[in-house]
Amino acid sequence: MKPYFSFCILLLIFSDVLSQENPFIKLVEPNKTNNKVSASRQFLIGSTCKTCNLTVNGENTKVYATGAFAYELNLHEGDTNFILQATNAAGKKIVRNINFNYKKPEPPGPVTVPAIESIQTFPAGNLVLSAGDKISFTVKALPQSKLTTYGNTVLYELPESQAQGMPGIYQGEYIVKPTDDFASIKFPVTLEAPNGEKINKETRYSFSVMSPLSSDVCYTSGRLAHLVYGLGQDRLGGAKMGYIDSLIPLKIVGKVGSDYKIQLAKSRIAYIPDDLVTLAPKGTLSQGSLTGAWQVYGDSVYDYVQVNLSERLPYQSMQFIDPSRVVVDIFGATGNTNWIKQLPSAKEISNVDYEQISDDIFRVTIWLKHAQHWGHHIYYNGKSLVIKIKQQPQSLALKNMTIAIDAGHGGNNTGAGGPTGSSEKMIALSVSLKLQKALEKEGAKVIMTRTTEKFFDNKQRILFYRDSVPDLLLSVHLNSAADPIRGGGTGTFYRYLGFRPLSVFIHSRMLELGLKDYGNIGSFNFMLNSPTEYPNALIETLFISNPEEEMLVLDEVFQQKMADKIVAGVKDFLQHAARGK
């Protein structure tokens, strides 16, 4: 009886401790007591004591084991007060008031007086232009007016059927003339109303024409110079064409904000940030290069394709599958290759070929023996372009792999946050450390970006792994959404098609945990997905913003389950690669 009696006493003490837990209400959204909003759907997101009962205006609200809660509001216009009350097991209460003032945004209407309401130009930003460049205008102004801009260029009013039913939307474009010499001016837009009244308004951004004396050549600098297709508005920036080596001359034909506009070929334009280049004297750009003899050879880890050129030229690489191959476009090169020496030391490359797809774009195609891409890197050895192809490892056992683990965020970069105040940086690190141990238990060599609470810039991470040369990279993160109730699930991300299988197999294993499916996402423009040197996958384990999923990822046992599933996915990937010989 004595052990049972002791157990009862402990149970009573534990129950008493729980009943003494002081109630509290900590909100992460909203973070103010009085809130003016223009959307009817809002959320109360936060945490209370784990044993507390929580009500919102008297209605019971689900409190998760972590104390987290998320309550959806559907507001009516005007002021609405919400009373949050947390009550612990002993009946002790705490109350918090939150006020919302919801006002529907006024629906857009036509301009009704002689006025210019807005001017949009594209490309957006301060521009440095060359002859032939276009500036597109979209202007909202008084309907049935006459609108002109620089050089008496007429802007025409769109039919309402082409302007979503809105009258007074004008469009047009100005094409830069060879005789233009304007410098840092804002274009005026002039409106002449039906009653004869005239209104003037300037563009937000300024425009310049490249001076005949200004430099039209720049050289790439540093180890992470990269070209982008266009000026994207997404938080991840413009979609990257890829990294290129240093000291490559580029022809400048304009500038948009802080990005130089580059002419790669007659039909190919790209952009590069101005902090990744150094300017050179005008007229120093070469006129291209003929290709010379090639060599294809290998060592114990890599195969190499060496294309002899007389000048360093920009390039772009692409991965293709079915059949597996790497394609490299060299801009400004003209084919003059009369032979290609292929040595039997090359173990991954089955063949190489070339094609002059336009006057100034020379295409190199490298055919691989294995279905799985294991990575490639392009650089210059003097003026010879070298394409370095990673051979498929002879043994695909996990114990023979070197795997890099990148724990997302860190230090002052906290990442996303959860209802309880949890941070992505801490949970990502915790999962990554468990993943490290799980992989090392299988005999793998593991390289870690960070093992402590420390900040590393993404550029530092990329260079670290470029020098460390892992076989695979796994980047661990947590996702977030504005909707804490519906936003959720596990997802994996990849940039290049040849690396997709790694993310697919990990995603399939993660779903075995019964998680919501966020999907496998391709062409993802994330920096840690951008290296071509090794297969890589970004793993967005769960949504930290979702209180139920936050509860899961805060659980050390569940973190271990996720780490084990990632390991299982890596094993599946290696087995798949072995079968694809």
E strands along 182-239, which residues?
A: 188-192, 198-202, 207-209, 217-220, 226-228
Instruction: Decide if 209 contacts 176 (C-beta within 8 A).
Output: yes
CATH 2.60.40.10, applies to 2-102: yes
CATH number of the 116-209 domain: 2.60.40.10
Query: Following DSSP, what letter does each residue of 172-192 receive, concatenated?
Result: EEEE--TT----SBPPEEEEE
Same fold, 289-390 and 398-579: no
Average pLDDT for 33-41: 97
Nearest to 256 by CA among 133, 132, 138, 119: 133
CATH 2.30.30.40, applies to 217-280: yes
CATH number of the 289-390 domain: 2.60.40.3500
Q: State percent of the chain over pLDDT 70.
A: 96
* Strand, coil or helix: 106: coil
Nearest to 198 by CA among 107, 268, 114, 305: 114
CATH 3.90.650.10, applies to 398-579: no
CA–CA gap between residue 264 and residue 333 (Å, rounded): 11
Q: At residue 3, does pLDDT exceed 80?
A: no
Domain ranges of the chain: 2-102, 116-209, 217-280, 289-390, 398-579
Q: At residue 196, does pLDDT exceed 90?
A: yes
How distant, in Å, are the alpha carbons of 229, 413, 536, 544 from that of 547?
A: 38, 22, 29, 7
Which pLDDT tens digit goes with each residue over 105-132?
999 999 999 999 999 999 999 999 999 9
20 pLDDT band (50/70/90 cuts)? Answer: low
Two tokens at 141?
């102004």
Task: Give the long-range contacts of residues 350-357, CB within 8 A, separation 24 or more.
Answer: 352/294, 352/296, 352/305, 354/291, 357/329
Residue with tokens 């009943």: 19
* Strand, coil or helix: 38: coil
Spatial CB neighbours of 398, under 8 Å, sequence gap ≥ 6: 439, 442, 443, 444, 567, 570, 571, 574
In this prediction the pTM is 0.93
DSSP state of 340: E
Which pLDDT tens digit goes with each residue over 44-80?
999 999 999 999 999 999 999 999 999 999 999 999 9
pLDDT value of residue 380: 98
Cα end-to-end span (Å), the chain: 68
Nearest to 304 by CA among 377, 239, 363, 243: 377
Instruction: Decide if 105 contacts 83 (C-beta within 8 A).
Output: no
One-letter amino acid of 399:
K
Instruction: Decide if 485 contacts 546 (C-beta within 8 A).
Output: yes
Which pLDDT tens digit goes with each residue over 330-389?
999 999 999 999 999 999 999 999 999 999 999 999 999 999 999 999 999 999 999 999
